[in-house]
Structure 1
């Protein structure tokens, strides 16, 4: 869309991506980043106004985020942002414990120098975001780091299984990012050092301790737990 002076405004519909996918991505992002808070009601009309689209792609996107566990459909209330209760958090970390320890061990066996350099760059970027107190970016980088470890593992099943899970990992991490960041950074460094040393046992142990510490922090930061 052209504006006076030749400037252009980028609209959602301008991208060559299905409109529902664009709405879904933005809806998920706003939930994960806390722009739509836990327990907040999300009507189709409101979301359509927020995104500047019709209600159809909103309705379709809501079905997906409901299936993913980000939204609940409640009687007489309609769609509301789900609440990260203790059971949901424990279940998430139980799966992470199994998945990430396996991925770390495989990554230590299979990583090359470029893989290790990539992981260290993500750590450097995360450290800069932490120093700048850019916790939205830090949460993005935290998830990117864990996805990278899984990619380095070379196990396509782990990669496929983890895709949806890391949206929720991002959500949980973002809630307590300010308090968790320094500890998470140290744990990530130990994990990358073990991968670089090609020590699968040490890498699996580092990953397991990291997930256990993250779970304890996530449950401890919950005022309603």
Structure 2
């Protein structure tokens, strides 16, 4: 079970404890520190985060409503797993909406947001150069969240948040090579956004998610996604 970085334990802060615990567990799931099927043991989590069991229990309930945790009779809480068909359908929808997100970002071309996305891209490139592939999962989430903000469509952002979190949990099992290939796609997406080419940005973003999805589905006995060709052909 992962421990948070050095610093005040959650029980020593003044923020609502169950929300802080929920955020920490969500982060662990989305970055792969907690894997699908891992048990969430209340006593251990309470010890790790320096809180009582009650905020841990509330956090787990909240994560269950997000679809990131499942609570099973006599087995307790587990990091949620998807069957291959559900995973394929979820990834298909995310690919479609991620394309629309990139389209809106290319339409707005907000200079401040483009600088922010470029900074995230540079940090990911630096992480790869330093052999810190473990940082890519978190930076990948940062990139796609920033891209959604750049589109300035609140409804689309809200739809994408839960969908992105659920698919991020699927992709945490990616190999380092697949992670690096997926990260390289981001430069092409940003290039199209900066150029204001809505169609190309949308096609590249959709293909990016579909290709990452195929990497996951290939080991799950599920049919491949359609339209998941090389990013350069988008």
TM-score where L is the length of structure 2:
0.83
212 and 159 in structure 1: CA distance in 2 versus 1, 3 angstrom threshold: same
Distance 1:113 1:81 in 2: 38
Distance 2:154 2:66 in 1: 21
Deviation at 1:21, TM superposition (A): 0.8
Task: Report Cα offsets for 1:36-89 as digits up to 9, x if no partner.
Answer: 333233232332233221111011011011112222222221212222431342
1:107 pairs, out of 105, 121, 125, with: 105
Distance 1:182 1:126 in 2: 10
Structure whose CA Rg is larger: 1
On the 8 A contact 2:171/2:213 being kept in 1, the answer is no
On the 8 A contact 1:143/1:169 being kept in 2, the answer is no
Task: Specify the alignment match of 1:185 in structure 2.
Answer: 183
Distance 2:77 2:9 in 1: 25
Any stretches of 5+ residues in structure 2 without a counterpart? 1-5, 223-234
On the 8 A contact 2:37/2:78 being kept in 1, the answer is yes
Any stretches of 5+ residues in structure 1 without a counterpart? 1-7
Distance 1:196 1:41 in 2: 43
Q: How many residues align?
A: 217
Query: What SS does the aligned partner of 2:39 have?
Result: coil
Large movers: runs of 4+ above 4 Å = none
113 and 35 in structure 1: CA distance in 2 versus 1, 3 angstrom threshold: closer
